A = this chain, B = another copy of it.
Amino acid sequence: MNNIDPALIKKIVEEIYKRLESCNDEIPVGVSNRHIHISREDLDVLFGKGYELTKLNDLKQPGQYSAKETVKIIGPKGEFDKVRILGPVRNQTQLELALTDGFKLGVTPEIRESGKLDGSAGIIIEGPKGRVKKDYGAIAALRHIHMPPSFAEEHGIKDKDFVDVVCEGIRKTIFSNVLVRVSDQFVLEMHVDTDEANASGLKTGDTVKIIKSKE
């Protein structure tokens, strides 16, 4: 134990300090209840040709909003009457559920990044003007952080990195495998679903910290 290389120790200490520094910034949390993004084509069937969504509230991410419109979601074992549509319309219809919701509906949503829907669970959607049977599109969203480039650069994080995030409290939890998406269109915010929020005691507006980033 007498041949310690001081240069190595210095490097380790520097690394520790670097990581401690990157702990300093708090990330606000948004808890996502079950919701749906709708394609133009499906909106036409559900609400009528050319129907336009009505904005209820702006979401934190620029351009995103909750719509006044809701749809019924029907699964093999159960249904949800009023699932909120988030606008604007997207290329693909995507239903985001907590796994707990999946048990009620009788579907098993896979844990997926937004937009990666191939082979995901199917579902029936009912609107005031019609029904759509989707062969895929129901997922449990992979927990993720929307991050502006300034924050990412400061913390040595790149788009599509995965990070570990700690939330304090009686149900203190460290979430690993949190996907980071970096864009100048984003406001800093971590999205978790209701299962993750309830398991860790998180509420919308709470903050968490990144404790480790890895590629």
> Shortest Cβ distance from A46 into chain B, in angstroms?
26
B201 touches A200 (CB 8 A): no
The answer to the question of A62 belonging to the interface, with a C-beta cut-off of 8 Å to chain B, is: no
Docked pose: A170 CA to B111 CA in angstroms: 8
User: How many monomers of this chain does the complex have?
Assistant: 2
Docked pose: A118 CA to B31 CA in angstroms: 30
7 new A-B contacts at CB < 8 Å, known A143-B171, A173-B174, A199-B200: A98-B198, A100-B194, A100-B198, A111-B171, A171-B175, A171-B177, A196-B199
Contact with B along A68-104 (1 / 0, CB 8 A): 0000000000000000000000000000001110000
Q: What are the 8 tightest A-B residue pairs by CB atom distance, in nearest-first order?
A: A199-B199, A172-B176, A174-B174, A99-B198, A195-B198, A196-B199, A195-B199, A1-B10
The answer to the question of A50 belonging to the interface, with a C-beta cut-off of 8 Å to chain B, is: no
A4 touches B2 (CB 8 A): no
Known pairs A111-B170, A201-B111; A6 contacts B4 (CB<8 A)? yes
Q: Which residues of A, 125-158, contact B by the 8 Å Cβ criterion?
A: 142-143
